Amino acid sequence: MPTFRDLLAEAKASIREVDTEAAAAAIGANPATVVLDVREADEYEQGALPDAVHIPRSLRRQLRSCGWTTTADAAFEAVIAGCAGREGSWVTGAMAQAYSDLHRAGVAHSVEAWSGDVLVGGLYGNDTLIWPHLGPFR
């Protein structure tokens, strides 16, 4: 039976870890690169790449246990409409239309959170920027 250290070594062997300089170089070579930073809060506070999306452990834990499902680009128009339809939203009709046009061109994307068949939240953005909306959409 493998030990904890064996399992850890096996897992680390399958993950390509890079330092910040290598990550910045990869982003420079392909501006469409999205960096997800899943380090602990204290590690993140020590320094992070600009525009990296930080996903704290508490959020990851909550998402695993809440029963929500997620999709990508399955309800782009609904995510934009949900964000634009909120009181005080800065998403104008023209901006929503522009993002919809970008989505049809393959440049803008969405990530949706569902509770059953109800859309409860989403993110949208172009290839280099994602804006969050934490539901519920009304």
Please name each of the domains of the chain with its CATH number.
1-65 (no CATH), 67-138 (3.40.630.70)
| 132, containing H or E segment | strand 129-134
Q: Model's pTM, two decimal places?
A: 0.54
pLDDT over 60 at 110, yes or no? yes
Parallel/antiparallel/unpaired status of strands 36-37 and 53-54: parallel
Q: 84: Cβ–Cβ under 8 A, 6 or more apart, which residues?
A: 91, 92, 93, 95, 96
SS3 content of the chain, % helix, strand, coil (to 5): 40, 20, 40
What value does the mean pLDDT take over residues 15-26? 75
The pLDDT of residue 31: 67
State pLDDT tens for residues 22-75.
877 877 787 666 677 777 777 777 777 667 777 777 777 777 788 888 888 899
What is the 8-class DSSP label of residue 68? Answer: -
The pLDDT of residue 30: 74
The pLDDT of residue 75: 93
The torsion region of residue 137 among left (phi > 0), alpha (psi -120 to 50) and beta comes to: beta
**Among residues 137, 138, 87, which one has the least CA distance to residue 112?**
137
